[in-house]
Chains A and B, each alone.
Chain A
Amino acid sequence: MQGKPYPQGVGHAMRLNAWCAVVALVFVVVSSLLAPLYAHFCGVDPFNSNVAGTAWRAGRSVDVMQPNANPLHLGLSPLGPDWRLGAYMLGADTQGRDVAARLLYGGRSSLLISGASAMMCLLIAGSVALWAGYKGGWSDIILSRCMDILWAIPVYLLAISLSVVTLGHGLKLGPVHVEADSFLIPIMIIAMVYVPYAARSLRAQVKRLACAEFVLAARSAGASDLRIIVREILPNLWPSFLVLAPLVMALCLMAESALSFLSLGVQAPAASWGTIILDGEGLLYTRPLVAIAPGLLIAVTVLSLNVLGEVVQSALDASERDGA
């Protein structure tokens, strides 16, 4: 294409970033999905403690819990990593469980909870934004003030308080009863605390779209509010959802890990990356990998999601610029 003032699409550096992010995310997701496969073939149980277990190392069977190397051999330390594909490849934790298996199963819960809460968050934020932005007036004032109030409370403080309340007895919503150890509780809490974050930018978009002449044209044709929202405004809002989704999921993943680290998210014996960091806390000096590995996974996933959001944003900007 000659005569274009800008290169078409996104730049080369951006493209490389995008590929790295996608590869990292696919790796994390696929390996988490394959967790039962690893547990089955290596014959390890990721959930029940196994302090009397044994593992194969260099052709012979060794205890999972080793006596400490101090002169009196007081206390036990879990087995370290040997980096070979197989049972206890990343060593064991204080309860003798396979760290690698727990990481994989933990990834399942972390990704499931952050993905589901991101979706729920965008669903609620989208509805709020559409109604407030399109209707304007009192609906807008009330909904926007509610969002401001929610956003004024520190996100983690709010999430922690809600978790403390719901963890005791679970959640009773009329006939629906959510058990205290259900994933639904962290999902709902995390989704809720980030609604204002997503709703704010979406509402601004809707407000801009609501005064477009094509909305006036629909009104003058006699379209109902719902029809205008669904058929005229929503299709123009998809790009914003596409950009927000990975960013919100990254935030949700961090919130989930934080709650789980504080024992307020995923409940034992289930694992999430946050709970594994907590398990590794006591082993920081002897087996630092137990805490570092889930930390690295969280960092890589959050980074990839953020890069992805940024790439989607600039790709959309580019298509808007070149497509006119």
Chain B
Amino acid sequence: MQGKASSAPLLEVTNLHRRYPVGKGRVLHAVSGVSFTVRRGEALALVGESGCGKSTLGRLLIALDRPDEGEVRFDGQVISGRSDRSLRAVRPRMQMVFQDSLSSFNPRRRVGDALLEPLKIHGRSYDSSTLERLLVQVGLPPDIVGRFPKTFSGGQRQRLNIARALVLQPELLVADEPVSALDVSLQAQIINVFHDLRAELGLSCVFISHDLSVVRQMADRVAVMYLGRIVELGETLSLMKHPAHPYTRALLESIPRLHHPLPDALQGDVPSPVDVPQGCPFHTRCPSVQSRCAHERPVLRPVEGGRDVACHYPV
């Protein structure tokens, strides 16, 4: 398994599309032509407003859903569109932290049982210290294994959620809104858990979030999504400092800061992913829209500063 050159990307996504029929012949384009890579040990964040296709993309990444077009390669191996049975051997190498920490645990199973389930599925050996080590890793006392999911607080459950994703010692972790349901002090704790894990285990991570301020502390690179497309992709710090896409800029400006007046919010709502606007999908709300934007769809192309931007007139 270690034979592959470690410089090759761990996860490679090429031109991924996912459409859902919504009746009357109409189609919801949840993910549309997304391509990116995740290198080993890297943390990538997918950021966008709710409904932009982040969670769908997350499920496609670990083959819980099938794309209509395009492919996902994990460690050089195509994993998209394959049957669950044929994926059994790869599954342990990529795990997901689910968004809703309450509904992601079976209400009728004790959490210790739920945490060990992945090991039982793969017939791996475990003993009492396995659970203990795992719980210490995410900062939980080991005496909670006999309790039911309902009896935990949101923060504890989120730690359990992470613990379950770690039990198979994956190489890739996809975390869907890992901190958005928590209050700020808990957010900081969970962010630290991820920091420690990445430092200890060399995990590659994909964080899905709607909150750029959280992403700043978690990710090496950021992909900003709008209506199922990546509109800007680049190193976290440079992207935060000099956003090139008007949408990224608007997102950054919407983060409230001390001693700064709140800027004007974006006009209007996100268009429905069922009728995506002609031309640039963002032109209906873009503050610096030009006539070309309404007809011609910009493609993601590299601009200076090692950034990819899908905009005719990057800032």
Report whether B121 and A227 are in contact in the complex, using a CB–CB cutoff of 8 Å: yes
Is A75 among interface residues, defined by CB-CB distance under 8 A?
no
Contacts of B150 in A (CB 8 A): 323-324
Identify which of B95, B105, B109, B122 contacts A220 (C-beta below 8 A): B95
User: In the complex, what distance in Å separates the CA atom of A231 from the CA atom of B110?
Assistant: 12
Decide if A217 touches B168 in the complex (CB within 8 Å).
no
Q: Do B104 and A214 touch (CB < 8 A)?
A: yes
- Beyond A222-B92, A235-B109, whether A217 also contacts B104 by CB under 8 A is yes
Q: Is A15 an interface residue (CB 8 A)?
A: no
Asked whether A236 lies within 8 Å of B87 as measured between CB atoms, the reply is: no
Q: How far is the CA of A27 from the CA of B168 in the complex (A)?
A: 55
Do A213 and B100 have beta carbons less than 8 Å apart?
Answer: yes
Do A232 and B84 touch (CB < 8 A)?
no
Indicate whether A37 reaches chain B with its CB closer than 8 angstroms: no
Q: Are A221 and B91 in contact (CB under 8 A)?
A: yes
Q: Given that A213-B100, A235-B108, A235-B109 are known contacts, is A220 also in contact with B121, CB under 8 Å in the complex?
A: no
Within 8 A of A (CB), among B239-254: none
Interchain CB contact under 8 A, B104 and A213: yes
Give B11 Cβ to nearest chain A Cβ, in Å. Answer: 15
Q: In whole Å, how far is B141's beta carbon from the nearest beta carbon of chain A? A: 23
In the complex, B118 has a CB within 8 A of chain A: yes
Of A214, A224, A225, the residue contacting B106 (CB under 8 A) is: A214
Q: Which listed residue (A213, A223, A235) contacts B98, Cβ 8 A? A: A213
Mark each residue of chain B from 282 to 303: 1 if its CB lies under 8 Å from any CB of chain A, else 0. 0000000000000000000000
Chain A residue nearest in CB terms to B85:
A224
The answer to the question of A284 belonging to the interface, with a C-beta cut-off of 8 Å to chain B, is no
| Count of chain A residues with a beta carbon within 8 Å of a chain B beta carbon | 20
Q: Is the CB of B91 within 8 A of A220?
A: yes
B99, A213: Cβ atoms under 8 Å?
yes
Given contacts A217-B96, A217-B98, A324-B150, contact A222 B106 (CB under 8 A): no
* Closest Cβ neighbor of B96 among chain A residues: A220
- Identify which of A217, A227, A323 gathers the most chain B CB atoms within 10 Å of its CB: A217
Contact A220–B62 (Cβ < 8 Å): yes
Task: Answer yes or no: A230 CB below 8 A from chain B CBs.
Answer: no
1/0 contact trace for A208-220 toward B, CB 8 Å?
A: 0000111011111
Residues on B with beta carbons closer than 8 Å to the beta carbon of A231? 109, 117
A214 to B113, CA, bound (A): 13
Q: Are B118 and A236 in contact (CB under 8 A)?
A: no
A221 B100 Cβ-Cβ under 8 A: no
Known: A216-B98, A323-B150, A324-B150. A221 touches B168 (CB 8 A): yes
- Whether B64 and A221, one on each chain, are in contact in the complex, defined by CB atoms closer than 8 angstroms, is no
Across the interface, B164 reaches (CB within 8 A) one of A217, A236, A323, namely A217
Are the C-beta atoms of B64 and A219 separated by less than 8 Å?
Answer: yes
Is A222 a contact of B98 with CB atoms below 8 Å?
no
Residues of chain A lying within 8 A (CB to CB) of residue B64:
216, 219-220
In the complex, how many angstroms separate the beta carbon of B123 from the nearest chain A beta carbon? 11
Is residue B133 contacting chain A, with contact meaning CB distance below 8 A? no
In the complex, B107 has a CB within 8 A of chain A:
yes
Asked whether any CB of chain A lies closer than 8 Å to the CB of B103, the reply is yes
Whether A218 contacts B103 in the complex (CB less than 8 A), given A235-B109, A236-B108, A323-B150, comes out as no
Chain B residue nearest to A214 (CB atoms) is: B106
B147 beta carbon closer than 8 Å to chain A: no
Task: Given A216-B98, A217-B98, answer yes or no on A235-B92 (Cβ-Cβ < 8 Å).
Answer: no
B106, A236: Cβ atoms closer than 8 Å:
yes
Q: Does B88 contact A (CB under 8 A)?
A: yes
Is there contact, CB below 8 Å, between A221 and B106?
Answer: no
Residues of chain B within 8 A (CB-CB) of A222 are 84, 87-88, 91-92, 118, 121-122
Q: How far is the CA of A88 from the CA of B159 in the complex (A)?
A: 72
| Complex-state Cα separation, A218 to B92, whole angstroms | 11
| Contact of A235 with B106 in the complex, beta carbons under 8 Å | yes
Q: Encode contact with B along A72-91: 1 for CB under 8 Å, 0 otherwise.
A: 00000000000000000000
Which residues of chain B are near A227, meaning CB under 8 Å? 121
Query: A236 — nearest CB in chain B belongs to which residue?
Result: B108
- Could you show 30 A-B contacts with beta carbons less than 8 Å apart? A212-B103, A213-B98, A213-B104, A214-B103, A214-B104, A214-B105, A214-B106, A214-B114, A216-B104, A217-B104, A217-B105, A217-B164, A218-B121, A219-B64, A219-B84, A220-B62, A220-B95, A221-B91, A221-B92, A221-B121, A221-B168, A222-B84, A222-B87, A222-B91, A222-B118, A224-B85, A231-B117, A235-B108, A236-B107, A236-B108
Q: A213-B99, A220-B91 are known; give 14 further A-B pairs, CB within 8 A.
A: A216-B98, A217-B96, A218-B117, A220-B94, A221-B91, A221-B92, A221-B121, A222-B84, A222-B88, A222-B118, A223-B121, A232-B106, A236-B106, A236-B107
Which 6 A-B pairs have CB atoms at the shortest separation, nearest pair first? A222-B91, A213-B104, A221-B118, A235-B108, A214-B106, A213-B98
